[in-house]
Every structure is written in C-alpha cells, then in structure tokens.
Amino acid sequence: MKIEQAYTIVTSPGRNFVTLKIVTDQGEYGIGDATLNGREMAVVAYLEEHVIPTLIGRDPQRIEDIWHYLYRGAYWRRGPVTMSAIAAVDMALWDIKAKLAGMPLYQLLGGKSRDRVMVYGHATGRDIEACLEEVARHVDEGYKAVRVQAGVPGIASIYGVAKKDGEPYEPADSDLPAEHVWSTSKYLNHVPKLFAAVRERFGEDLHVLHDVHHRLTPIEAARLGKEVEPYHLFWLEDCVPAENQEAFGLIRQHTTTPLAVGEVFNSLYDAKALIENQWIDYIRATLTHAGGITHMRRIADLAGLYHVRTGFHGPTDLSPVCLGSAIHFDTWVPNFGIQEYMPHTSATDQVFPHDYRFEDGHFIVGETPGHGVDIDETLAKQYPYKRASLPVNRLEDGTLWHW
C-alpha cells in the first residue's frame, strides 16, 4: 500500500481550520488537524513545500517510521509549526490504520480504560454575577466541571472573557493583533473573591478550574495558588510562562492547588523536568500541537510514571478532527484527567461530520472505524480563509507582557 496523494484544506466556518488529507492507492483516506491559531498558513506552507512531497509513495502503515523521518529528517527539531505539521500526518495515518483494521481508534490504542470522558466547559462573564449565571447554565446543561473566568474591575478587556455575556470566547478576534492592558495587582485581588462566590453558590461538588494564561511571575502565582486553596480548584492553569520549567518548583513549594500547564508545548522535552520533578499535576499538551498520537502517547506514558494526568487543550481553535481523535485517546489513556471542551459553531460541525457525542458532562466515543471525523470538502470551500490574529498584552505603563 502506498500514499498516492496528500493535500491541505483550509476552511473558515466561523474560524480558520487547516486539515491534511492523505489518500492511499487503495482508495482509503485519513485526515489530520494542522490548525495553529493565528499562524495557520505557516503550517500549510510547511506541509505543502516540505512534507507532502516526501510522503508520496510511502507505506501509510509505517506510522512510527514516518514520524521519525519527519522529525529527525527535518534536522531543525521541534517548534509549533513543524510539530503541528507532523501531528497532522500522524493523525491522518492513525485514521487510515484504524479504518484498515475496521476498528475505532481507541481499540487500536489498547481499548477502553473508561466508558466516558469528563469534560470542562467555559463560563465567562463581565463581572462575578454574570459569570455565576454562566456557571449555572453549564451546571443545568450537565457539566460536572467548569472553567471560571470573570472580568476584573479596572481592566477593560481580559483573557478568556467573552465580549458579550453568554457568547463564546474567541481569542483571534481581529485582522491584526488587538492590544489589551493588564494589571497583575487588580487581577490578584479579584480572583479569590470570584471563587469564594462560586463555592458559596454552587457548593463543594462542582469541579472548578481557572486559566491564568501565563500572566504571573512565580511568586505571584504562588500567592494566587495559596489564596484559592480554600476553594479547592481542580486546577490552576498556565500560572506562569513555562519556558523556565524550574519556576514550577518554586510555586509548588508554596501551594497545594493542583497545577496544569502545556497547551503551548509541542514536545516531550518542554515537559520533561515538570513531569519528572512532579512540579505539575496535569499536562495540557494535545495531539495537534504536540506531534500527534505517536508523540503524545510518549508524553502521557512518562507523565503516568509521576502521577501526572492528561488534561488536553480543547479550544474551538482546534478542529473537530483534533477533538475527535482526542476523545479516542482520552478513552484509552490510563492516566486521564479531564478534556477541555468549547463547542464548535454549527457551521464547523457541518463541515466536519463526526460521531462523538456530549452527554451529561462527558464525551462518549464513537464506534466508526478510524477517529470518526470526516470533512465535507464541498462545504469547506464555501468558507474561505480570513486572517485572524491573537491579541497582545501590555502592562499599564506600556510594557509588552505575556498573553
């Protein structure tokens, strides 16, 4: 069996997505997600110019060999563009292999470790009251876990809070990067009040999460972790930028609030010290940005040795192809923690027909051979690419800060 054809499909049913389709000489095909929010066309160019020409004629069943061919063969290792491109190939090849085996992907990985996959949804509001209403809506819809982000008095626009209450949050919201203004002191004073209000209204059973989006220093993160301890967060996410992995050692010494990190990671080496030192509790890297199923499996296995569980990134800027594959992985992986879930637009769901379903705060994996997600290429053409950028963040004095 040989790879006969491979091509990228760029579509924007509400937001941009990049999909790689690989077709074999026996008519079987697989698809992979290559979406890198705000940098989509860089991955398209990488795939079209440097990857696809090398795939033609190869045996699609040699997933491991192709992974190392693309990783080692590039010489220039790692990085989000390279690893998203490799991930898309890897996901498409696992899709093909599972289809050839006549099995849903989770079976090929080792079978079910659980019957359903707990997810967390996003509640956002311009203030605490509006945010609590959104938490209540999620609870009514069956969610057992909710990420809680509220506007902060004195900060005009803040990460993770929708422009209008009740609407989904979209980070890439303008042609060129918007500029936000950030105040650490205002934020730090406000977050404990938010979680006090959440526990007061919803009691102890609801799992609550919070994303700091890399905006604190280690000692500030330690303060926040300590101050929210009484509210028993499921996790505190990305509390500092993680290039310096040792920073988490400092935070860890100060707080028992569980720590999650890794949505911008693209390789095991981004997380090695974090995992081996048990500085974190959840690893957030996911299939599309961390080299696909083949590499993510290595990360999860290492994490499992150190009591670190998975908590895959799952924003709307990863396509249903990534989400569907992630649900198979989550169903199999022994050290599963939780799966992030932001519902896609109905236009996106139509472009990407899929067999996973949401029920009672959980995803239920499908039984279709492969990863269970397809693409309607005719419909995809109706939604042309439109550049959209993530914002940047500045301190009140104008200093460029982390976003």
Q: Which is nearer to ligand KDG, 37 or 319 (CB)?
A: 37
> For residues 363 and 358, what is the distance between their CA atoms, to the nearest angstrom?
5
Among 11, 16, 24, 37, binds ligand KDG (CB under 6 A): 37
The answer to whether residue 211 forms part of the interface with Mg ion (CB under 5 A) is yes
The answer to whether residue 211 forms part of the interface with ligand KDG (CB under 6 A) is yes
Strand order through the sheet with 179-182 = 179-182, 392-395, 400-401
Among 32, 218, 225, 315, binds ligand KDG (CB under 6 A): 315
For this structure, is 210 an active site residue? no
The answer to whether residue 213 forms part of the interface with ligand KDG (CB under 6 A) is yes
Q: Which residue's C-beta sits nearest to ligand KDG?
A: 37
Q: Considering 29, 106, 143, 159, which one is annotated as catalytic?
A: 159
Q: What angle do CA 88, 93, 94 make, to 5 degrees?
A: 100
The one segment of 184-192, 206-214, 319-327, 366-374 that binds Mg ion by CB under 5 A:
206-214
Radius of gyration of the chain (CA): 21
Among 270, 317, 330, 374, binds ligand KDG (CB under 6 A): 317
Q: Which is nearer to Mg ion, 211 or 317 (CB)?
A: 211
The answer to whether residue 340 forms part of the interface with ligand KDG (CB under 6 A) is yes
For this structure, is 122 an active site residue? no
User: Which residue shows structure tokens 């292999």?
Assistant: 97
Which H or E element spans position 376? none
Token code pair at residue 72? 């080692």
The answer to whether residue 35 forms part of the interface with ligand KDG (CB under 6 A) is no
Q: Reduce the DSSP state of residue 49 to 3 states and report it.
A: helix
CA-based torsion, 332, 337, 343, 348: positive or negative: negative
Minimum CB distance to ligand KDG, residue 221 (Å): 16
Residue 120 backbone dihedrals phi, psi, to 5 degrees: -120, 140
Token code pair at residue 70? 């693309």
The residues of the shown chain that bind ligand KDG, judged by CB under 6 A, are: 37, 171, 211, 213, 263, 313, 315, 317, 340, 390
Which residues are identified as catalytic? 159, 213
